[in-house]
């Protein structure tokens, strides 16, 4: 499978509006992060994990032409406010777009995007979603891609991570990764992991906590995501061991048979 990082920043994005800190003013493109999402191409099928408020810009930048289904980690604004922009794929295929998430996520999407969750769209230009609920630890197949649902703690909220075979675990927006989840993803080829900043946060892993989880999981390659403007890309990379790196917007990797190859 091919994985493209559409965004690797926290909810504000980097630069943050009105901030003059060194990271927000940095001209290193790796310090410019849109909201967090990945695009997964597996054979002829394409999955989007979360649809951020930056989805339009992300899709244009990555030249996205196809989305067969969307997996939702949770419904915080930085993960779902781009769902309306997916209407172009409904128009192109003439079909409802399948959206998969927890019962709570699906209920929230029904409230936020009621106009897209009707039996038939009130107007042909509107997005139209086909909603599917996923249960924690469920083994599923969506758009030809098998994965397991990983329950994660994000403060008091349970959010979902996704484990795609032994190739990829996508684990963002969490401050705790349970022993059960560590066990089920141990030895995965690529682990994408929440790592917000150095200072503690009630709902996200710090960089040190993420290093600790990465050590327990022992992925061939761990990539940190969901960074905020307190984390300067090059400075964080320097403190990490070689098998742990910081993802950046536009990064693209190919994962197959226990091997990972960086494409961009």
Q: Does 77 bind Zn ion (CB under 5 A)?
A: no
DSSP label of 212 = H
Q: Which of 85, 173, 194, 249 binds Zn ion (CB under 5 A)?
A: 173
Q: Does 78 bind Zn ion (CB under 5 A)?
A: yes
Q: Does 85 bind Zn ion (CB under 5 A)?
A: no
**Sites for Zn ion among residues 6-45 (CB under 5 A):** 16, 19, 21, 24
Alpha helix positions (H), the chain: 22-25, 55-61, 77-80, 87-93, 103-112, 179-185, 207-217, 233-239
Q: Does 54 bind Zn ion (CB under 5 A)?
A: no
Which whole-number Å values give the CA distances from 252 to 35, 99, 242, 246, in the listed order? 16, 24, 18, 13
Residue 157 CB, nearest distance to Zn ion (Å)?
Answer: 8
Nearer to Zn ion, 45 or 203 (CB): 203
Q: Chain-centre distance of CA 33, in angstroms? A: 13
Our CA angle for 64, 67, 80, nearest 5°, is 95
Q: Does 182 bind Zn ion (CB under 5 A)?
A: no
Distance CA 170, CA 39 (A): 11
Instruction: Indicate left, alpha or beta for 260 from its phi (over 0: left) and psi (-120 to 50: alpha).
Output: beta
Q: Does 197 bind Zn ion (CB under 5 A)?
A: no
Tokens of 5: 């990082």
Site mask, Zn ion, residues 200-239, x = CB under 5 A? -----------------------------x----------
Residue 216 CB, nearest distance to Zn ion (Å)?
Answer: 22
Nearer to Zn ion, 211 or 226 (CB): 226
Q: Which of 30, 33, 76, 197 binds Zn ion (CB under 5 A)?
A: 76
């Amino acid at each position: 499978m091919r994985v493209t990082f559409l965004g690797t920043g926290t909810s504000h994005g980097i630069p943050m509006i009105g901030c003059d800190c060194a990271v927000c003013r940095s001209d290193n493109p790796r310090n410019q992060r849109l909201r967090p999402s990945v695009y997964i191409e597996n054979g002829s099928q394409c999955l989007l994990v979360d649809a951020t408020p930056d989805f339009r810009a992300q899709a244009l930048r990555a030249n996205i032409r196809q989305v067969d289904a969307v997996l939702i980690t949770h419904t915080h604004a930085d993960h779902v406010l781009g769902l309306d922009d997916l209407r172009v794929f409904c128009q192109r295929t003439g079909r409802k777009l399948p959206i998969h998430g927890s019962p709570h996520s699906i209920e929230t999407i029904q409230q936020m995007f009621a106009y897209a969750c009707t039996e038939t769209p009130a107007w042909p230009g509107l997005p139209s979603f086909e909603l599917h609920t996923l249960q924690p630890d469920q083994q599923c197949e969506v758009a030809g891609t098998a994965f397991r649902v990983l329950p994660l703690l994000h403060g008091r909220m349970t959010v979902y991570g996704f484990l795609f075979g032994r190739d990829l675990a996508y684990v963002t927006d969490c401050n705790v990764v349970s022993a059960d989840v560590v066990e089920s993803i141990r030895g995965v080829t690529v682990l994408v992991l929440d790592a917000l900043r150095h200072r503690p946060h009630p709902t996200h892993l710090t960089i040190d906590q993420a290093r600790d989880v990465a050590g327990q999981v022992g992925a061939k390659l761990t990539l940190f995501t969901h960074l905020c403007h307190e984390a300067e890309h090059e400075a964080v990379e320097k403190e990490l061991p070689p098998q742990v790196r910081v993802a950046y917007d536009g990064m693209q990797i190919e994962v197959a048979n226990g091997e990972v190859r960086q494409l961009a």
